């Protein structure tokens, strides 16, 4: 069992038993997280900032890296729909 904590604009905690995307973890926590393209790494609206537990998140893939580059995102920013958590982590929304 591990926890993904959402802070910032919308707050909540997802308690998970297996790897899950941050977008689905947000749903599990009842946290509102905009995802206009439906989780297909095309819009960037699901962007979050990693506050803790970056080592417990999946590596950035090509699609995520491309969108984050277009958005000129910081190194701690991730697309929630493309990032899977497998251990405790905290991310900020907004
Ligand atoms: S929901 Fe569109 S990039 Fe994540």
Evaluate: CB of 22 within 6 angstroms of ligand 1. Answer: no
Classify domain 2-93 at the CATH topology level: Ubiquitin-like (UB roll) (3.10.20)
pLDDT value at position 8? 96
- Residues paired with residue 48 on neighbouring β-strands, in sequence order: 78, 93
pLDDT tens digits for the chain (94 residues)? 999 999 999 999 999 999 999 999 999 999 999 999 999 999 999 999 999 999 999 999 999 999 999 999 999 999 999 999 999 999 999 8
Evaluate: CB of 41 within 6 angstroms of ligand 1. Answer: yes
Distance CA(12)–CA(58), nearest Å, equals: 21
pLDDT value at position 94? 85
Evaluate: CB of 71 within 6 angstroms of ligand 1. Answer: no
Distance CA(62)–CA(69), nearest Å, equals: 10
- Distance between Cα 80 and ligand 1 center (Å): 7
Please report, for the chain, the start and end positions of each structural domain, with discontinuous segments joined by +.
2-93
- Residues paired with residue 89 on neighbouring β-strands, in sequence order: 4
């Amino acid at each position: 069992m591990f926890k993904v904590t959402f802070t910032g604009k919308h707050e909540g905690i997802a308690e998970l038993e297996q790897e899950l995307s941050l977008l689905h973890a947000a749903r599990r926590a009842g946290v509102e997280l905009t995802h206009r393209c439906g989780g297909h790494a095309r819009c960037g609206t699901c962007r979050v900032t990693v506050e803790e537990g970056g080592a417990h998140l999946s590596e950035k893939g090509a699609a995520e890296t491309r969108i984050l580059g277009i958005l000129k995102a910081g190194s701690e920013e991730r697309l929630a729909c493309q990032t899977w958590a497998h251990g405790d982590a905290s991310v900020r929304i907004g």
